Chains A and B, each alone.
Chain A
């Protein structure tokens, strides 16, 4: 699907769902909108849209393209909707549990147990965040984070939204939404720690270069002025230094990195969830109780015995237990691979809510739901 086709599909679906009439006429879409929607979108009760900028002169049609007024208004209207509510994930076949275990690399341990799995419906809280990194450029991401009834939180790939989700008349809200939000925020920090750090260090590197060049240039210019010993040296030097300070201020403003996450929706999603015990074939090893749901397909309760990675996939090694792929690739998994975080950090996921989770090193994120208190560092 091209970008224009994606815009078209979104616009038509959105307007029809909002009760507007939509008819197609060549390159134009004619829209008849009821008064609240017409007012909100600000394009009138009857208007034409086009996805071809050069056709916009016809009937004063609004162009729908990145940055266009028409698209911005429609996107903003859609963003004001659907911020809360409940859904349920429907699944016909029970094969998802086998597929989930297989995807996590645990089928070998759990295949025999699948028949004894306890399947019930649980409610996940799904927090959607828009993350914006800004310095002299801007990079954004959309990130879903699910939180289960135990407070465990994990990132959910956006393509899960394409699954079979339907309205759920009675969402089972978890009373402490604030706690869920804090878990989600913590998981988000963990998931993005590497990205944020890469962005920060790139900005600082550019700022360093800029500052070094500015200082060298103005300091040497001052030396040259002094060496020339022309009349009015003092005034000239003051002027140059003042220009230098202005430039330094400009550079700081320009390359100052910022990372902001904004919650854009929160939703209760009822999902079939399976619980089962995996029985590792190792002497003295305890069985592993895991949970997994049909929608996010995340196996919870397992983690790499080398680095603590809770996301998988893992492999089972009789001598050393459950290992994630990087740990398994090191010799017998005896040493923590270089560059990998210590167990317990949130680099690739989180166990927030169990009292063991930690924010990434140096994090000072604030959560409004946490009463504005500074998060643990």
Chain B
């Protein structure tokens, strides 16, 4: 243990230069062979000099990143964390400023310097694959998802949800070996020190740790204390001393001595605000409500009737996988008749359903393939003819994508096609072709994740994923840092469908399309719900009576409004505590 008194003389604790035992092999080989050329020797020296690590005077990672635009606030943040905060920090940027990129950048810098060889990222379950893809695509860091307790020792770069990691046998495995770096995304989940989440992270042995959250304070200042104590115990003094000094009143949300508190937080937290880092241009939302053709209407209603009947049947009759297939079918019919036709054929030919149901499915399939054009496509063409902008056109399904590709080509609209099944080189060509020539970038959900598409500013949702975060990701392809023009979001949806519910909830209730990318997740996180948003929606849609559906929809709408209010409340507290420029912040 080093002396804290400063009494120990340097000689006692002198650091020795240790010589590598491997040196002997070079000395031995020198006498055995004629040796290498002078050029090879000079090249050896150049290779060593090129690979030297010289501290953190600058960031080395930029040239090796892919599809990451360089922003000053992110560079500044990474350097501050590396140099001044020595790898232990709360990254508390406001939503939309790229905390993930900042964390990736810091991680990559450590990896390049050989300081991080083992890293663990703990995001919410819904963001696991997004983190994995982003780390691989942008930062070339091969993270693997933890699927079993054995995985903890197998890979150096791991991703696990907090929910998984905190449970045995994962918890013991995760805490068994030291980590060089831990990243916790949405770290406000560590707000209470009595939770398994907090105890898990506190018990992990780590050298560096990054906690990512736009809202370190959600309900009261204790949460801030707990978060900071996880990184740097004592930075905010002890709990009693913190309460006495920095909690202003019985209302534990009101801070006292705010200037002093912020001073202490500066040693551990970096927070960039949109108004000082980068303001995003506004979004405009355009709703295109479509009345289906009689044939499409009949098919939609018949498919819905079939799905409701099967979905709401006594539990146990349908296996879970079949239930999922029904949800997919309902989503597909909301996208296009072409997308639904394939699943109808598959169900007709499979053995999930009895004979009577299969006959019904066969009839539905016949109905579907008789429809050779969809009204939504006409509206799409009308929109495209009315604008000269480049357009990102999203659909969830490859069958719908193939149909739209035909429609657009027939209409003479140049189109770049992009989907998850393409090899990487073909994806690159599609992005390049869209940037240089094509009007439309027709894409499935894989649409250009991590690629710079900000040269376009119009997003058309030909169908609406039931998971609002997927919608947000689509919009985020153009409404992100680097976008300088107003962004237009066009939602095409059919009246009297489940997608109409979705628009009612997301657009009219919480104005989702005006939120900054990232905020929606924080709002949905305020819902006291274990079910996913898609499951909630399907459960409502599957209700038999129209009145029951309306009532359930109203209740969900109210819950969303309350969630948004709670989120906004948390925002104001964070501004008051963390942001020096916040108006009316208590002194």
Contacts and interface: CB of A to CB of B under 8 A. Distances in A.
A245 to B, nearest CB: 11
A288 interface: no
Contact of A208 (B4, B34, B36, B54): B4
Interface stretch (A79-87, A103-111, A301-309): A79-87
Interface stretch (A147-155, A336-344, A357-365): A357-365
A360 B11 CA distance: 10
A181 B28 CA distance: 12
A40 interface: no
A66 B41 contact: no
Given A63-B64, A139-B54, A260-B18, A87 B43 contact: no
A220 B241 CA distance: 9
Contacts of A177: 27, 30-31
A81 B50 contact: no
A306 to B, nearest CB: 24
Interface in A48-100: 51, 53-54, 56-60, 63, 65-69, 74-76, 78-79, 81-87
B324 interface: no
B19 A167 contact: no
B250 interface: no
A69 B140 contact: yes
A374 to B, nearest CB: 10
B63 interface: yes
Interface in B10-45: 10-24, 26-27, 29-31, 33-45
Contact of A368 (B19, B54, B67, B424): B19
B50 A265 contact: no
Given A53-B65, A266-B26, A261 B14 contact: no
Given A81-B36, A81-B40, A128-B45, A247 B11 contact: no
A211 interface: yes
Contact of B428 (A58, A134, A188, A267): A58
A253 B177 CA distance: 13
A257 to B, nearest CB: 5
Interface in A210-224: 211-218, 220-221, 224
A81 B44 CA distance: 6
B531 interface: no
Given A137-B86, A140-B54, A224-B240, A365 B63 contact: no
Contacts of A218: 233
A33 B477 CA distance: 40
Interface stretch (B110-118, B275-283, B478-486, B574-582): B110-118
B316 interface: no
A172 interface: no
B14 A207 contact: no
B63 A84 contact: no
Among the interface residues B17, B46, B50, which one has the most CB atoms of the partner chain A within 10 A?
B17
A197 B15 contact: yes
A197 to B, nearest CB: 7
B50 A7 contact: yes
A67 B61 contact: yes
Interface stretch (A10-18, A21-29, A116-124, A315-323): A10-18
B1 interface: yes
Contacts of B154: none
Contacts of A85: 34-38, 40-41
Contact of B2 (A75, A132, A204): A204
B238 interface: yes
Contacts of A78: 43-44, 46-47
A220 B86 CA distance: 26
B283 to A, nearest CB: 27
Nearest to A250: B205
Contacts of A366: 16, 18-19
A57 B427 CA distance: 8
Given A67-B64, A75-B47, A82-B44, A167 B16 contact: no
A79 B234 contact: no
Contacts of B55: 137-139
Contacts of A364: 14, 16
Contact of A158 (B1, B20, B44, B49): B49
Contact of B18 (A6, A56, A258): A258
B203 interface: yes
Interface residues of B, number: 86
Nearest to B29: A84
B38 A167 contact: yes
Given A54-B67, A196-B17, A246-B203, A201 B10 contact: yes
B238 A224 contact: yes
Contact of A14 (B30, B43, B108, B202): B43
Nearest to B43: A78
A56 B51 contact: no
Contact of A59 (B48, B237, B425): B425
A158 B42 CA distance: 10
Contacts of A168: 38
B204 to A, nearest CB: 10
B233 A246 contact: no
A368 B21 contact: yes
Contacts of A178: 27
A6 B52 CA distance: 14
A168 B35 CA distance: 10
A327 to B, nearest CB: 24
A317 to B, nearest CB: 34
Nearest to B39: A17
Given A161-B45, A178-B27, A264-B48, A365 B178 contact: no
B14 A192 contact: no
A264 B241 CA distance: 54
A130 interface: yes
A263 B41 contact: no
B4 A212 contact: yes
B56 interface: yes
B112 A66 contact: yes
A36 B239 CA distance: 64
Nearest to B23: A263
Contacts of B23: 181, 262-263, 367-369
B554 interface: no
B243 to A, nearest CB: 10
Contacts of B381: none
B375 interface: no
A141 interface: yes
B220 to A, nearest CB: 19
A243 interface: yes
A283 to B, nearest CB: 42
Nearest to A218: B233
A44 interface: no
Contacts of B67: 54
A376 B190 CA distance: 53
A64 B482 CA distance: 26
A165 B45 CA distance: 14
Given A57-B424, A85-B36, A141-B52, A199 B47 contact: no
Among the interface residues B23, B60, B111, which one has the most CB atoms of the partner chain A within 10 A?
B23
Among the interface residues B20, B21, B65, B229, which one has the most CB atoms of the partner chain A within 10 A?
B20
A206 interface: yes
Given A6-B50, A84-B36, A197-B10, 8 more contacts: A78-B43, A85-B35, A128-B44, A141-B52, A177-B27, A246-B205, A362-B11, A363-B17
12 contacts: A59-B425, A74-B47, A86-B35, A136-B208, A212-B4, A259-B17, A266-B26, A266-B27, A362-B10, A363-B14, A366-B16, A366-B18
Sorted nearest first, the 8 A-B pairs with minimum C-beta distance are A85-B35, A362-B14, A217-B234, A82-B40, A57-B428, A67-B112, A65-B63, A82-B44
